[in-house]
A and B are shown apart, each in its own frame.
Chain A
Amino acid sequence: MSLISIPFFVFICVLLGIYYHTGEKHQWKVLLAGSCIFYMWCNPVYIIFIAISIVSTWYLMRHPVRSHFIWTVVINLGLLIVFKYSVNFGIHDLIAPLGISFYTFMTLGYAHDCYDGKIKPSDNLWHYALFISYFPQLTQGPIGTYQEMQEQLTAYHGYDRDNLKNGAYRVIIGVFKKLVIAGRVGFYIDTVYGSPKGYGGLTLIVATFFYLIEMYADFSGYMDIVCGVSDMFGVRLKENFHRPYFSKSIPEYWRRWHISLNEWFNTHLFMPSVTSGWNRFLSRGLGKVFKKAKKGTLRTVFPTIVVWIVTGIWHGARFSYLGWGIYFAFIMLVSFCTSGYVKKLCRKIHWNRDNVFVKIFQVARTLLVLSIGEIIYRSESFSDTVQIFKNILTDTHINGSQIAAALTPFGNGNQAVASVIIIAVLVTAQFVVELAKEKDENAFRGHRYIYATAMLVVIALFGVAGKSNFMYQAF
């Protein structure tokens, strides 16, 4: 069931009606039943796999000893690997269960926290089942933690008009971002990246810039929809995006983009690797070679490489994803190793890092470094990646013919001009809103009815129908 569809709209309305007419004792059961219906809507059989994950994890982690923890990891990771990489083993007709990546992350996070003694294992299987299967966060996150979610999900939520209003407003924002902004630029990117050989540098730069816009509008639009839906039920989900394109460095960017996924990797893979015996041993060896390097810096080298390669492979077993992971591991390491020197240098030359021009430079630099990574990620093959970089570096000119060529993926004549104007206006409007919010979190809070109406009109006029699948759904 797509989140932007009539059936989903009807489903939410009916579920809200039942939810707020159900008494304190049974209200959470409505959410659990709703989550089961949502899950079974696509393919009822696949509920078996999420059920295996839920029951086995809950049962094993009631006694969170080492062997139980290992079994939990083997079962959940095993299912994920079988479904996600079956194509790479020559099995082509196995479709992965909905949200398997995300519920596996939540399951493993829960098991790890139980094993570390950070949380008390759940004593109610159905409460735990709701935590894993809660439908707004099931398909693409945010990856909630047991500590954040459990009480909220099982507590009673009385009818609150503000929750419904705020939630509905946020859903409209999400649909606007997805159907209008991501939808509009999406066609251009698909056309250019589909056969990059035939395009000049300027067109490829525009397509890459559009890709940054599409990714943000798609992912954050999705998050707005699910957080809005969840708000209507009185359950606050974790915020997953914090205006990432205003980041002044790549590490900051990864703290502001898909926040829950990056926190998961930090808590359950990066920090355990940093403190592990194997890493202590390897970093001591590295210290013998790089004698002047700080111990802490050396301790980050191998965990950073591990985390980014795993993150890359998690996206899929493809060259572009692995290359993307290696690229960001390298960038993160450069950032870790040089941050101390850069700070000292700035102090020495009295470079004021709070100066607005310095900040603009840092943001632009971050976007440039990010764009390089996204070219690797978006390319359909290694030869395409090479071709795109080659064309950008050797065939970029600001002249009439390249500008005309950059307009062709939009269509012909008036259609191209209209598309450019619509995208320019929408992206500028979105940028103004984000910039205002970066300065003041409460900006654009008043006059919501006017904004909501305006967005609905724009969605009706310029929304791209048939583009309601979200990017992360594939993972």
Chain B
Amino acid sequence: MDELLELLEEIRDDVDFRGCTDLIDGKVLTSFDIIQIISELDDAYDIAIPASEIVPENFNSVKAMYAMIERLKG
């Protein structure tokens, strides 16, 4: 989880990823941020995030992103 937090903070250093749970619904992240995030996650975790996984529920919090990564790795 810490590694993921570090990666996210590199993309947006002005966002409190640790505490925020409505990153998409609260319009904290833009669609361009999401593209940056999925590109970094693909390489860092050796996964391929399909378009069908790009839904608010998977990106609203670090916890949700982590769960998605674990699911795609498995």
Contacts and interface: CB of A to CB of B under 8 A. Distances in A.
Interface of A: 116-118, 251, 266, 271-272, 274-275, 277, 280, 283, 294-300, 336, 339
Contacts of B38: 274-275, 296, 299
B54 A277 contact: no
A275 B36 contact: no
A116 B36 contact: no
A300 B38 CA distance: 12
B48 A280 contact: yes
Given A274-B38, A275-B38, A280-B42, A296 B52 contact: no
Contacts of A274: 35, 38, 51
Contact of A275 (B40, B51, B55): B51
B48 to A, nearest CB: 7
B64 interface: no
A23 to B, nearest CB: 38
B7 to A, nearest CB: 11
Nearest to A274: B35
A300 B51 contact: no
A296 B11 CA distance: 10
Contacts, number: 46
Interface string B43-72: 100001111101100000000000000000
Interface string B9-32: 001000000000000000000011
A299 B51 contact: no
A299 B39 CA distance: 7
Contacts of B49: 275
B37 interface: yes
Nearest to A347: B14
A251 B33 CA distance: 13
Contacts of B54: 271, 275
B52 A294 contact: no
Contacts of A116: 51-52
A300 B35 CA distance: 8
A296 B48 contact: no
A58 to B, nearest CB: 21
A294 B7 CA distance: 13
In the complex, the 4 A-B pairs of residues with the closest C-beta atoms, listed nearest first: A296-B36, A295-B39, A116-B52, A296-B39
Given A271-B51, A275-B50, A277-B48, A295 B43 contact: yes
A296 B31 contact: no
Please report whether the interface of chain A is mostly helix, strand, loop or mixed according to DSSP. helix
Nearest to B31: A266
Nearest to B53: A275
B52 A118 contact: yes
16 contacts: A116-B51, A116-B52, A117-B52, A251-B32, A266-B31, A274-B51, A275-B49, A275-B50, A277-B48, A280-B42, A280-B48, A296-B37, A296-B39, A299-B35, A299-B38, A339-B32
Contacts of B55: 118
A274 B52 CA distance: 12
Contacts of A298: 39
Nearest to A251: B32
Nearest to A335: B32
A295 B48 contact: no
Contacts of A339: 32
Nearest to B54: A271
B59 to A, nearest CB: 12
A251 B40 CA distance: 22
B35 A272 contact: no
B51 A294 contact: no
A280 B52 CA distance: 16
Nearest to B40: A295
A118 B58 CA distance: 13
A352 to B, nearest CB: 15
A274 B40 CA distance: 13
Contacts of B48: 275, 277, 280
B32 A300 contact: yes
A287 to B, nearest CB: 10
A116, A271, A277, A300: most-surrounded residue (chain B CB, <10 A): A271
A298 B11 CA distance: 14
B32 A296 contact: yes
A29 B6 CA distance: 55
A345 to B, nearest CB: 15
B32 A336 contact: yes
A116, A266, A283: most-surrounded residue (chain B CB, <10 A): A116
Nearest to A269: B51
A295 B52 contact: no
A339 B49 CA distance: 24
Contacts of A275: 38, 48-51, 54
A37 to B, nearest CB: 38
Contacts of A299: 35, 38-39
A112 B40 CA distance: 26
A295 B36 contact: yes
Nearest to B35: A296
Contacts of A296: 11, 32, 35-40
